[in-house]
Each structure stands twice: as structure tokens, then as C-alpha cells.
Structure 1
Amino acid sequence: MSKEKGLEREEGGATMPIKKRGGVVDSTDPNMGGESQDADYCSEDAPPSLSDELEVLILARVPRSEYSKFSAVNKRFLSLVSSGELYKVRRDIGVREPSVFVLASGESNWWAFDRSFRSCRQLPILPSDVCFASGDKETLSAGTHLLVSGMEIDGRVTWRYELTSNRWFKGPPMNSPRGLFASATCGNHAVVAGGIRVDGNREVLRTAERYDPDGKSWVLLPSMNRRRQFCSGCYMDGKFYVIGGKSEDGQALTCAEAYDETNDKWELIPDMLKDTPISTYHSPPLVAVVNNHLYALETSLNVVRVYVKATNSWRTLGPVPIRADFNRGWGVAFKSLGNELLVIGSSSASYTGHGMSIFTCIPDPTTATTEEGRLRWEPLECSKNRSSHFIRNCCVMIA
């Protein structure tokens, strides 16, 4: 049996010196005082320590759900996480994983889940006023920032949650404060377009802007061809798509637009939603892109459809296991989760009682509409499944 005694280790009655990085410490030195020093010690037979660079590369491959435990290791590990350096390394080596942020009806705190929904944690309370807390909000993510846009007593604001520090900050505001806009995330930035201006005459917008999390700033982009509100956004084929919505006259728009960053222009796509039923009080289109294929949740029929690019048309793939028709699409989350589709809402079966139900599936755009070929949805257990099935906000962060 061995034990440490000051800077010595006793083994079988023999006293062995303990090696410090860079040499052997003389335990007889009176300046040492027999006290443990702030350094890493190992026996002469111990393997050499890892280099700092190799340690960072290893940590970058650890699941993000484990990062909260690093603060108990040492200050350097804590600094790697809180400074954001570790996330930059992950981005450079192509290691990313999705997290799902959810705000359910009746709750004041956001919840963050890992991809499999096996672990969750509660975010700090967003320090907004009561108007923002109780009002409608819209969310998007960029890098390690979760952005939440809504109305406070003094006007439209955007709050951001920084994953690295686990804190909320106000701002920066958009160049054109807006609501009911389209948004989507691509890489380390996000784009918003359209919506209603809320700092004046409630003008329906056709402007667009991009958020840069590194600079914490918004940059104006060229304006769309059409003004639109109640629209949705997504990234596909390297372009930012704005789909559906309503015009300044309140008329439903079946056209879409795609912004190509390469030529810095918008392209109008007529009749992209020509076969989609549109209700006056319907939610914005529920769309998600998986493996560069666009899917939509047709809420009036509770089915998933896939967009056929070659013919500018839609094809039905099969039903979803939640009731999206209860509130005409409001309160339902329909997102891409890596190579899967994610849907959260009120279950059409009794998987999780009266709480929110969570399902994923790996879609196949060639799936037939027969019983054998329909989408295979997998229910996910969730430690917070007593939350309301009405989802006020949901956002997927890839970092």
C-alpha cells in the first residue's frame, strides 16, 4: 500500500522521491516545508503528460452535455469553455452536435436538451420585463448564441443567451426591429427577412439582415422582391429561402424567394405553395431541411410532405404522431435535428400522458405513401415530459 507524504511516497518502507514536471523535487529542501505545491506531480514511472494542444483536441470531441463538469477539474478547463475557445476548435475540426432549446407554455425558464433528449438542464431566467415574458417571441440561433426577439414595454428587443457563459444579455437590436419574420441558421450566422416593423407604422417589410455572433452585430442584406409577414425560412442548396406568408394587403402568398450569397441576389420562385391549404389564422409554414431536402408539416391534415425541386411540387410522405391541427399549427415544433426530423407537441397517442410528446424520424424523400413505406417515428423519453404540450418557442443550435 502506498500513500503520499508531503512530496514523498512510501512503498514497502522505502521512501521514493516524487518527480515534478521538469525535474525531481528534493524533499529534504527546507524551503519546501513538506507542503503540497501548486503543480502536477507524478511518479518516475508515470507516463508523460499530454500537451496542451492535444488536451484541447480531446476535449473538443467530448459531448457538450459534459462540459459543465469541466469546472471541477481546473481553471484552465473552465477557461477553455467559458472563453469560447473550445467551440472555435470544434468548429475548425468539424465537430458539432445539435442541442434543442424549448420554452413551453406556462413556464418561465427555457430548457436545453441534448440530441437524444436523455439529458436536460434549465437555463437561467431571462431578465426581461413582464411584457416580454408574457408576449409572443421568436427565436433563432447563430454559433453559440440563442436569440430571442419580442416586445418589452419600451419597444422591440432581442435578448441573447450565450452558451459559453450560461448568461443572458440584451441586444444587439436589429437594424429594422420586426416581428413575424422568417429566419434560418447556416454555419456560424443567421439570417432574418420580412415581418412587420414594430417601431412605427407596422409596415410589412421586405428587408433582410444577417447576424454575426463573433461581432455581435447585424448586417443589412439586399431586400426581397416581395413584402411578406407570417413567413418561414430555411437553408437549402446553399441558399436562404423565405417561404409563404402574407402580403401587405393580408393576401396569402404562394410564392417563395431564395437569397444566393454568391451573387448577392434574391430569386423569386412562383407557386411554391400553390397546393398547400392556407387558413386565415394559420401559423407560418412549418418547414425543416434534412440532407438538403425540404419537408413541411401540413397541419390541417397532420401529415409530412416533401418538396420535389424538379417539378416545384409537394408529395405526401405520411402522418405525424402529434395533433398539429388542434391550434392550426401554433404550439407545435417541427425542426431538423441533424439527419432527423423532430416534432414536439400534443401526442395523438398516449406515449407521455398530457405533457409534451417528442418524436424523431429519419425521413426518406422517396418513401411511398403505403403503410409499409410511411415515416417511422420514434418516441423519445424526456425527464421534463410534464411540461405543457403547447410549445411557445423551439430552436436547434448546432455547435
Structure 2
Amino acid sequence: MGSVMSLSCSKRKATSQDVESSNESRKRRKTCSETDDDADDEYCRLIPSLPDELSIQILARLPRICYSSVRLVSRRWRSAVSTSEVYSLRKELGRTEEWLYVLTKGQEDKLLWYALDPVSTIWQRLPPMPVVVYEEESRKSSYGLWDMVSPSFRVTEFVRSLFARKDSSEQMPFCGCAIGAVDGCLYVLGGLSRSQTVSCVWRFDPIFNSWSEVSSMLASRAYSKTGVLNKKLYVVGGVDRGRGGLSPLQSAEVYDPSTDAWSEVPSMPFSKAQVLPNAFLADLLKPIATGMTCYNGRLCVPQSLYSWPFFVDVGGEVYDPETNLWVEMPSGMGEGWPARQAGTKLSVVVDGELYAFDPSSSMENGKIKVYDQKEDTWKVVIGEVPIYDLTDSESPYLLAGFHGKLHFITRDPNRNVTVLRADVPNIPVSSPSSSSSSVSGSRSLSEKANAPDKSDTVIWKLIATKDFGAAELVSCQVIDI
């Protein structure tokens, strides 16, 4: 391959009379074939004897899991799979792949991302989120009294570095950050840093395999809810730190990745919170958004009234981007939306259906419900969900939808993070089915219940598992590129 590549890389003609030129040409060809690392590698083709246009067609057809190895072949190959050209072609060819991205929180609230290819069942660890490091920090001890009385430019530089360190360190989200995914990228928004809410936004681009900071939100917020409509990322609610502690937010905003700009969205009215019987309750119970799901082209935001640690469900609001208005959520949808720990609502839309997880009163299992829009009610479609993680973690279980199936992320008895797929039979939504579940290759979890018909049995198939140590689950997103 090296000899063929050297022929394609050589651009200078040598003659028998010009020995020096011939030697130089041979050195150049040798360098190109052996290392592919000097400036002349721009003349090399991606695949010898093939036009680069055809090589790009081949790379676009490779599974995404291969791209980590492709990047190691040469600088040109790494560059080829780090541009939008290959991914745009993958979309045209119908070769895009849905990957699951899981966010975990380890010691000292350190956030770590992992990506799962559900086809190969291979996990990949994403580059860590940026950690701000300053040169001034390493030289801090060298600043003394003499430095402070040195010429004015030194004092100005020192003061500026102090403020820069403070501002930048407060941009790093440690907990309470919101997670979103739009236009093929992951977003980490806001959170709490040094007991203060922040407005910073970090974006991970799988094409470049790197993090970058984008425009900050209009408001500082933590524990906000996110959703995507029309390729725009909406952020709703959350809390902000005021003089009296954390205060719920009713504000909302939307991010357009094509312009890297935020714009305001009308604040949530919290209509049901306005009908409290007396001023005392109104002052004690604060309205807060406890979930959000994009359903039928609108933002569905269930809400609660809370005075820590008590939560009272009060329905919710629905935002329509076409009218730019909030309306009260249908009563059955809001009042029946299952709530998990801390009053939050866990839901996902799969194949146009809105599913929610109900942990029920038992600590050993839960249920999956689906929303029947015609009857405005929630109905059980999976009677038992295998729950093993009984710890008081932030998110002991997550829901995700990809490959047209509902997936449940939790921990197995060995404390490994496990991704399970629910193979749900074609049960009409209007059917009041309460089907039992079993894990593929293990014993049935429905031993306590009556045996259902085989057509109603839901099989939980193990997709992948991984040992994340003591790290807790925080959130997950699905990206299709």
C-alpha cells in the first residue's frame, strides 16, 4: 500500500540529469508513504488509486462505531470523519444511527458522559467537560508585595486575572444542570456552582468529538426542563437562588442552534396555582415545573406546588409554538401524570405515543403507562418493570426511546448500569391491559401476579450493561447522526 500511495502522493518529476531533485522527490515520497504526517500529506488520497469523492462514499457507509478507529489511520482520515460532509451524506443515504448518551455523576459531583451503540453494544466514554485552568493560578504564589507595587500594567493584569478566575469558575455546572439534544449535539445547561445558579451552556459535537461553550441562557437557572420543537431547544422553569433560598422560575426561553441565539418565550401562567384557598398557602406552596415532554408538536409541562419536601400535583400547562401561547393541560393528562421521587415526572415519546414511568407504592417494581389522548387518561401497558436500584440517588432509573422501542435504564443486582428494551405487543391504547414483564434470559418478574395471556406478555431484553462504579445516573439523551 505504501508504494502505491507514494506514487499518488508524488507531484514532482525527476530527471536523470537532476540527481539532487530526484533525491529530494524520493525523500518526500518516502515520508508521505511512511508517516503521512508532514505538509505534503495534503496531496495524498484518502484511499490510494481511488478518488476522494468515492472514498468519502465508503466512509459514510461505515458504522459509526468504526470512526474511532478511522481517526487513528492518518490525519486525512481523521479530518474526513470530523467534517459535516460525511454525516450529511450518511443522512442522504439513510445510514444514520441512533446512539444513547448517558450522563453520570461521580465523586465530588464530577459529570461523566458515556455513549452506547445499541447495535454493537459497545460503550464509549466522551471527552470530559471542560475544566477551566488558568496560567495565573500556577503563578499565584509568585505574586508578592513587590508585584503589587510594580508598574500599573502588572496590577491591572493581576486584578483582571482574579475577576477572570471567579467568573469562569462559576460557569462550571456541578449539579442541577439541564440536559438537551438538538441538531445532532448534546447540550448541558445551567446548574448550581458554588451555591449559585448559572446561565452557561456547553455543547458536545459528536462530529468533532469535543466540547465548546455557546451563548449563555437569558436567565440563570438550575433543575430546569428541556424539550425540542422545530429543531430548537426550549428551556422552561427551574429554580434561581434568591435571598430566601431557591425560588421557582416561571420563565421560559428558546435556543436556535443555527444562529447561536436565545430568545424569550412567554412565562408559564401556573393557572391552577392561582386558585389556592388562602394567602397563607399561596405563600407556603410554590409552583414548579416537574417535567416536560414534546408531544404532538407542543410542550407538555406537568407542574406541582411544593414546600420542600412536600409536592402537590396541580396539573400542568401546554405551550403551542404556532400561537406562542400557554393553555391549561387537559385535566386527565395533568392529574394522572405519574410522579417519581421529588415529585418529578419521567416520560418519553416513542412512535408518537406518550409513555410515563410510575414507580407505584412498591420499591421492587414499577409500571409503564401510556396516555390515551381520546379518553384523556393514563393506562397501564406494562404491569411490572424490573427495578433493582433502590438507592436514594438523583435518578435511579431513566426512560429513552430509540429504534422505535421503549428502553429502561437502571442498575442490575450487581450494581451495573443496564439498558433494557421493552418488546411491547401491539396492544391498542384504549385497551385496559396490565401486562406482566420478564427479563430475557432470566426468571419472570410476574410470579406474584396472575399469569397473563402470552400475547400480552412484555419481554425485557437486555441490550447492554456496564460497570460505572459508584457513579449515579443523572440523565440520558438519544442522538441520530
Identical-pair percentage: 21
Shift in Å at residue 378 of structure 1? 0.7
2:474 equivalent in structure 1: 392
2:70–2:78 Cα contact (<8 Å) kept? yes
2:259 equivalent in structure 1: 215
Shift in Å at residue 117 of structure 1? 6.6
CA distance in 1, matches of 2:17, 2:89: 42
1:309 equivalent in structure 2: 373
1:67 equivalent in structure 2: 67
1:376 equivalent in structure 2: 459
CA distance in 2, matches of 1:235, 1:4: 56
1:345–1:357 Cα contact (<8 Å) kept? yes
Q: Select 1:114's aligned residue among 104, 112, 117.
A: 117
> Per-residue CA shift, 1:1-60, capped at 9, x if unaligned?
x994997xxxxxxxxxx6x59999778684443612654589xxx9962452x5444433
Aligned pair in 2 of structure 1 residues 325, 286: CA closer, same or farther (>3 Å)?
Answer: farther
2:144 equivalent in structure 1: none
Aligned pair in 2 of structure 1 residues 176, 68: CA closer, same or farther (>3 Å)?
Answer: same
Relative to the length of structure 2, the TM-score reads 0.66
Aligned pair in 2 of structure 1 residues 140, 246: CA closer, same or farther (>3 Å)?
Answer: farther
1:145–1:162 Cα contact (<8 Å) kept? yes
CA distance in 1, matches of 2:2, 2:393: 68
Aligned pair in 2 of structure 1 residues 89, 236: CA closer, same or farther (>3 Å)?
Answer: farther
CA distance in 2, matches of 1:275, 1:5: 68
Q: Select 1:240's aligned residue among 287, 294, 299.
A: 299
CA distance in 2, matches of 1:150, 1:179: 4
Relative to the length of structure 1, the TM-score reads 0.78
- Opposite residue 385 of structure 2, the aligned amino acid is V
CA distance in 2, matches of 1:113, 1:205: 34
- Opposite residue 150 of structure 1, the aligned amino acid is G
Aligned pair in 2 of structure 1 residues 50, 58: CA closer, same or farther (>3 Å)?
Answer: same
CA distance in 2, matches of 1:328, 1:284: 13
CA distance in 2, matches of 1:94, 1:199: 49
- Opposite residue 144 of structure 1, the aligned amino acid is G
Aligned pair in 2 of structure 1 residues 5, 124: CA closer, same or farther (>3 Å)?
Answer: closer
SS in 2 for 1:164: coil
Shift in Å at residue 315 of structure 1? 0.7
2:321 equivalent in structure 1: 261
SS in 2 for 1:273: helix
Q: Select 1:152's aligned residue among 173, 180, 193.
A: 193
CA distance in 2, matches of 1:375, 1:183: 30
1:98 equivalent in structure 2: 98
CA distance in 1, matches of 2:305, 2:13: 75
Aligned pair in 2 of structure 1 residues 213, 41: CA closer, same or farther (>3 Å)?
Answer: closer
1:297 equivalent in structure 2: 357
SS in 2 for 1:244: strand
Where relative contact order (Cα < 8 A, 6+ residues apart) is larger, the structure is: 1
Q: Which segment drifts farther, 148-157 or 326-335?
A: 326-335
- Highest CA radius of gyration, 1 or 2? 2
Q: In the TM superposition, what are the counterparts of 1:268-347 in structure 2 within 5 Å?
A: 268-271=328-331, 272-276=333-337, 282-300=342-360, 302-318=366-382, 319-323=384-388, 327=392, 330-347=395-412
2:180–2:186 Cα contact (<8 Å) kept? yes
CA distance in 1, matches of 2:248, 2:301: 14
2:420–2:464 Cα contact (<8 Å) kept? no
Aligned pair in 2 of structure 1 residues 179, 222: CA closer, same or farther (>3 Å)?
Answer: same
Q: Select 1:135's aligned residue among 131, 153, 175.
A: 175
Q: In the TM superposition, what are the counterparts of 1:162-177 in structure 2 within 5 Å?
A: 162-177=205-220
Segments of structure 2 that go 5 or more residues without pairing to the other structure are: 33-39, 133-168, 272-286, 436-451
Aligned pair in 2 of structure 1 residues 260, 80: CA closer, same or farther (>3 Å)?
Answer: farther
CA distance in 2, matches of 1:28, 1:199: 82
Aligned pair in 2 of structure 1 residues 229, 3: CA closer, same or farther (>3 Å)?
Answer: closer
SS in 2 for 1:246: strand
Shift in Å at residue 308 of structure 1? 0.5
2:176–2:222 Cα contact (<8 Å) kept? no
1:142–1:211 Cα contact (<8 Å) kept? no
- Opposite residue 345 of structure 1, the aligned amino acid is T
CA distance in 2, matches of 1:169, 1:23: 38
Alignment: residue pair count: 377
Aligned pair in 2 of structure 1 residues 309, 24: CA closer, same or farther (>3 Å)?
Answer: same
CA distance in 1, matches of 2:2, 2:342: 70
CA distance in 2, matches of 1:173, 1:393: 21
- Opposite residue 407 of structure 2, the aligned amino acid is L
Aligned pair in 2 of structure 1 residues 40, 83: CA closer, same or farther (>3 Å)?
Answer: closer
Aligned pair in 2 of structure 1 residues 187, 78: CA closer, same or farther (>3 Å)?
Answer: farther
Aligned pair in 2 of structure 1 residues 155, 241: CA closer, same or farther (>3 Å)?
Answer: closer
1:82–1:165 Cα contact (<8 Å) kept? yes
- Opposite residue 241 of structure 1, the aligned amino acid is C
Aligned pair in 2 of structure 1 residues 236, 207: CA closer, same or farther (>3 Å)?
Answer: same
Shift in Å at residue 151 of structure 1? 1.4
SS in 1 for 2:336: coil
1:229 equivalent in structure 2: 288
Aligned pair in 2 of structure 1 residues 393, 143: CA closer, same or farther (>3 Å)?
Answer: same
SS in 2 for 1:330: coil
